[in-house]
Amino acid sequence: MFTGIITDVGRVRSIERRGDTRIEIGTAYEMAGVAIGASIACGGACMTVVDKSEGVFAVDVSDESLSRTSIGTWVVGTEVNLERSLKLGDEMGGHVVTGHVDGLAVLESVDPIGDSHRIQILAPEGLEGFVAEKGSIALDGVSLTVNGVQGRRFWINLIPHTWAHTTFRNRRPGDVLNMEVDPLARYVARLLSTNPAAGGR
């Protein structure tokens, strides 16, 4: 489990195609304190550390993950938002993020507004109903608040800190983003679809 508060921006060091795909990511994390088998959210996707050395860790990515996340677009040098898994007692600064990517959103525009940046996102088809004004969404692992919604499009304001300390600073229109809806929205939708007493069918 994660909170969507990015604690490092890593960089892809190598990509090795084999049965699965092994990716090495450079990081500022003190790897002596990261166990083999630990979970790290990489661009919002929960990955398992399978190897490590000073300043770098490796993850194995299945074909399923490559096809359903933006990891398939990564190349050597790609910057990656990183967050270590939540520990009991840690501050819950964002919202509950599982690291299970629901789909690929598209960044349609980036506009400076004062010191902040307003981004327009096109949600994956079928997920627009999970996006609500003033609700939470995770994009590339970053916990964000939705400012407005119209159909599949929604808007988010990135404050200067978020812009400077995540990969959004290098994103361009047309880029795909890993999108995870708020788990609460997912369960409410399931309840409404299966329980007539709750207003479902």
Rounded CA separation 167/21 (Å): 22
- Cα angle 55-57-59, degrees, rounded to a multiple of 5: 165
DSSP-assigned beta bridge partners for residue 56: 26, 53
Rounded CA separation 86/75 (Å): 28
Rounded CA separation 180/136 (Å): 10
Give pTM, 2 decimals: 0.90
Is CATH 2.40.30.20 the right assignment for the domain spanning 8-84?
yes
Between residues 77 and 86, which one has the greater pLDDT? Answer: 77
Confirm whether 8-84 and 103-192 share one CATH topology. Answer: yes
Rounded CA separation 103/26 (Å): 26
Asked if pLDDT for residue 65 goes beyond 60, the answer is yes
Residues 130-151 pLDDT 10s: 999 999 999 999 999 999 999 9
DSSP 187: H
Please name which of 46, 55, 38, 155 lies closest in space to residue 108, comparing C-alpha atoms: 155
Q: What is the helix (H) or strand (E) element at residue 191, kind and residue range? A: helix 183-194
Q: 103-192, what's its fold?
A: Elongation Factor Tu (Ef-tu); domain 3 (2.40.30)
The reported pLDDT for the residue numbered 178 is: 98
**Domain residue extents for the chain:** 8-84, 103-192
Alpha-carbon 130 to chain mean position = 16
pLDDT band, residue 95 (cuts 50/70/90) = confident
Rounded CA separation 132/125 (Å): 15
